[in-house]
Amino acid sequence: MTGKYFSVEQKIVALMIKFGIFGTIVGGISNFLQRPVFLNFLMPSIMIVFLLYISFIIKKEELFKIAEKTIIIFLNFIFTPVMWFLTGGSKSAFPMYIFSYLLTSLIILKKKEIIVFIASFSFMISALILSEIFVPELFLGYSSEVSRAADYIISIIFVSVYLSLNINILKKTYETEREIAKKLSETDDLSGLHNRRHFLSEYYRIISSKNFRNFSVLMLDIDNFKKVNDIYGHIEGDRIIKYLGDALKMNISDEDLAGRYGGDEFILLIFGKPDETLKKARIIKEEFLNFARIFDEAENLSLSIGIAHADPDNTDIIKTADDKLIEAKNEGKNRIK
């Protein structure tokens, strides 16, 4: 596969191919030693060549779905009936292998495909069992009880390892996708900062555990942002939002918190003394003004900031910071209050 991300289907198909090749070699040698007939050599050889070919074509993204369906059809509807006759059918260890790649197939297939697959597979297995009952001489058995025991032991180990690896793939994929979903639900996709809901959740959690030691809340708003969208378009407007998000992340510590409050308004929770917080605010403002100069047609593109310092008597520090921001805007914008 090209690219860094592999879907659960891609991982499972790759595992199926690797174990299919290994299992076919082991099983083929075992069957050939018990019954050195031509079919016991031919079928595994065909299977190995087929799997090697599939492992080659699945590297091409556009051919993956075709390869996926091909391997499912081949394993379940060609390889299974042939090996059923060669290994002794239901009395052999082969049904364990069927269970392993049958389960894999059901994981990979879509809902509508599963219905057709189960119906077809059930019909085929029923026909094989009936054939075994009424025409038992067609099915080859084990040469001895020792070979039967050895085959069962090998099969149990092989299938157990294969299924364990499949479960591990599913578990890791689930954990990864859950982590991605969690991050998406907490992050503003444009600025890369916490979204408003998650910021507020973290804010109240953090300040409740800090016992009102030195911290400040900053509300920031981009002045005349609408002009940029009107003159340069929303793509450039998005670039400004992203730049400010990056600038905020670069100028706060890991302990601090930054979020996009909505539109062109941002919010910070910064720990430290008031003079240290003011210094950070000035640096952020200056960096933004240097960046904003490229939008020379959008006059007065700047940044207004309202700051509220921690106060045990103030139960709504965010509102105080917002009031300070409004004050800065009313006094002519482009300032820190």
**What pLDDT score was predicted for residue 137?**
81
Instruction: Beginning with the edge strand found earlier in the chain, give each strand of the sheet holding 215-223 in spatial order.
Output: 257-262, 265-271, 215-223, 302-309
Q: Which candidate, 124, 36, 44, 34, places its Cα nearest to that of 77?
A: 124
Q: How far is the C-alpha of 86 from the C-alpha of 23, rounded, in Å?
A: 15
- Measured at the alpha carbon of residue 31, what is the angle toward residues 99 and 87, in degrees to the nearest 5? 45
Q: How far is the C-alpha of 259 from the C-alpha of 191, rounded, in Å?
A: 8
Q: How far is the C-alpha of 286 from the C-alpha of 292, rounded, in Å?
A: 10
Q: What is the dihedral of CA 106, 161, 159, 22, to 10 degrees?
A: 100
DSSP-derived pairing of the beta strands 215-223 and 302-309: antiparallel
The residue whose two tokens read 């800065």 is: 328
DSSP β-bridge partners for residue 218: 268, 307
83 backbone dihedrals φ, ψ, rounded to 5°: -70, -25
Q: How many CB atoms lie within 10 A of CB 128?
A: 17
User: Would you say the pTM of this structure is higher than 0.85?
Assistant: no
Q: How far is the C-alpha of 128 from the C-alpha of 157, rounded, in Å?
A: 26
Q: Is 238 helix (H, G, I), strand (E, B) or coil?
A: helix
Q: 11 and 173 in contact (C-beta within 8 Å)?
A: yes
Q: 218 and 321 in contact (C-beta within 8 Å)?
A: yes
Beta strands in 187-264 (DSSP E): 215-223, 257-262
Q: How far is the C-alpha of 93 from the C-alpha of 277, rounded, in Å?
A: 71
Q: Which CATH number fits domain 196-330: 3.30.70.270, 3.40.50.2300, 2.70.98.10, 3.90.320.10?
A: 3.30.70.270
pLDDT tens for the chain, 337 residues long, are 444 456 778 788 888 888 878 777 776 676 666 666 666 677 778 888 888 888 888 777 778 888 888 888 888 898 888 888 877 788 888 888 888 888 888 888 888 899 999 999 999 999 999 998 898 888 777 777 887 888 888 888 888 888 898 888 888 888 888 887 778 778 888 888 999 999 999 888 887 775 556 889 999 999 988 888 888 888 888 999 999 999 999 998 888 999 999 889 999 999 988 999 999 999 999 999 888 887 765 567 889 999 999 877 777 899 999 999 999 999 988 999 8
Domain boundaries, the chain: 8-185, 196-330
Q: How far is the C-alpha of 149 from the C-alpha of 39, rounded, in Å?
A: 22
Q: Is 190 helix (H, G, I), strand (E, B) or coil?
A: coil
What is the DSSP secondary structure assignment for residue 137, as one 8-state letter? G
Q: How far is the C-alpha of 283 from the C-alpha of 290, rounded, in Å?
A: 11
**What pLDDT score was predicted for residue 38?**
65
Q: How far is the C-alpha of 97 from the C-alpha of 120, rounded, in Å?
A: 18
